[in-house]
């Protein structure tokens, strides 16, 4: 079974703090993704990575950065957290080939005060 | 940019009723299509997918979806729902050739099945 884990289920941070969200997958997948999930908006892609040290902007990258130093780990960084970044953050991974299913982690619910 | 529309944000129905959730997308080329489901407190997981061939696709737990190319639609159906089908359902589209296996998701439909 593919397993995608995220470092925290719940996180509370203050405005202006630097926030790190970690994601690890154990299936040697090339692709990894960070989404945010908001009611009525579905999932929106923040960043994705198709290889170590490679990253591509998704649809809403502003205010976020990412890091992929190892194949199994993909980090999302909020350089200076703001209240409008309060959301559920989902990590996913997939094999490189175009038809492959994305597998999701349990999510991190972030509250920025 | 492509978009995915799910027409109903909330659906409430009784057990044994039939369910149909609409999904339309705006991309004009060849696409791969997916339905994902998120049960309360659980991970998002794949319900079914369409790549090519028979436009009627069967997935897990008795769900099926029909791809109608002329209508840019991929509606999800289940003839008789159970209380355990209470969940949020997401349609997703991946245009062929999209870099990095990128998916575009619809806004989701919350389904509540009353016992």
pLDDT beyond 70 at A18: yes
pLDDT for the residue numbered B27 = 85
pLDDT of residue B73: 96
Could you tell me if B40 lies within 8 Å of chain A, comparing CB atoms? no
Q: Give the pLDDT band of residue A100 (cuts 50, 70, 90).
A: confident
Distances (CA, A) of B14 to A50, B34, B71, B89: 43, 25, 29, 17
Residue A53 lies in a domain: yes
Residues of B in contact with A31 (CB under 8 A): 100-101
φ, ψ of residue A85 to 5 degrees: the values are -95, 5
Residue A32 in any domain: the answer is: yes
Whether A98 maps to a domain, the answer reads: no
Let me know if residue A62 belongs to a domain.
yes
Note whether B105 contacts A101, CB cutoff 8 Å: no
Measured between CB atoms, does B24 come within 8 Å of chain A? Answer: no
Is the pLDDT at A26 greater than 80? The verdict is: yes
Which of A42, A50, A106 is opposite residue B107, by nearest beta carbon?
A42
Domain residue ranges of chain B, discontinuous segments joined by + = 4-114
Residue A51, domain member (yes or no): yes
Tell me what pLDDT residue B1 has.
66
Q: Which domain holds residue A64?
A: 1-8+27-89
Provide the mean pLDDT of chain B.
Answer: 92
CB A60 within 8 A of CB A48: no
Second-level CATH architecture of B4-114: Sandwich (2.60)
Please indicate, yes or no, if residue A96 is contained in any of the structural domains. no
b/e sequence B65-98, b meaning 16+ C-beta within 10 Å: bbbeeeebbbbbebeebeeebbbbbbbbbbbeeb
CB contact under 8 A, B32 and A100: no
Q: How far, in Å, CA of A9 to CA of B69, rounded?
A: 39
Supply the CATH number for residue A33's domain: 2.60.40.10
| Residue at A43 is within a domain | yes
Distance, in Å, from the CA atom of B35 to the CA atom of B82, rounded to the nearest integer, reads 18
Distance CA B41, CA B14 (A): 22
How many angstroms away from the CA of A40 is the closest CA of chain B? Answer: 5
> Is A22 part of a structural domain of the chain?
no
- Into how many domains does chain A fold? 1
Query: Do the chains contact at B4 and A42, CB–CB below 8 Å?
Result: yes
Note whether B13 contacts A: Cβ–Cβ < 8 A: no
- For all residues of chain A together, what is the average pLDDT? 93
Q: Which residues of A touch B6 (CB under 8 A)?
A: 42
């Amino acid at each position: 079974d593919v397993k995608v884990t995220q470092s925290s289920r719940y996180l509370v941070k203050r405005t202006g703090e630097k926030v790190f969200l970690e994601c690890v997958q154990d299936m040697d997948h090339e692709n990894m993704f960070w989404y945010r999930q908001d009611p009525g908006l579905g999932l929106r892609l923040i960043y994705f990575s198709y290889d170590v040290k490679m990253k591509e902007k998704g649809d809403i990258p502003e205010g976020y950065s990412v890091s992929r130093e190892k194949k199994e780990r993909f980090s999302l960084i909020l350089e200076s957290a703001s209240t409008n970044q309060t959301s559920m953050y989902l990590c996913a991974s997939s094999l490189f080939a175009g038809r492959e299913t994305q597998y999701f982690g349990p999510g991190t619910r972030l509250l920025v005060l | 940019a492509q978009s995915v529309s799910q027409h109903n944000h909330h659906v409430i129905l009784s057990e044994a009723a039939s369910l149909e959730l609409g999904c339309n997308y705006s991309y004009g080329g060849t696409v791969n299509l997916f339905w994902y489901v998120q049960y309360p407190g659980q991970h998002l997981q794949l319900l079914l997918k369409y790549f090519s061939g028979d436009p009627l696709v069967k997935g897990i737990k008795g769900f099926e979806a029909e791809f109608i190319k002329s209508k840019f639609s991929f509606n999800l159906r289940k003839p008789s729902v159970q209380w355990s089908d209470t969940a949020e359902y997401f349609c997703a589209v991946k245009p062929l050739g999209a870099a990095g296996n990128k998916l575009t998701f619809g806004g989701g439909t919350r389904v509540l099945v009353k016992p």
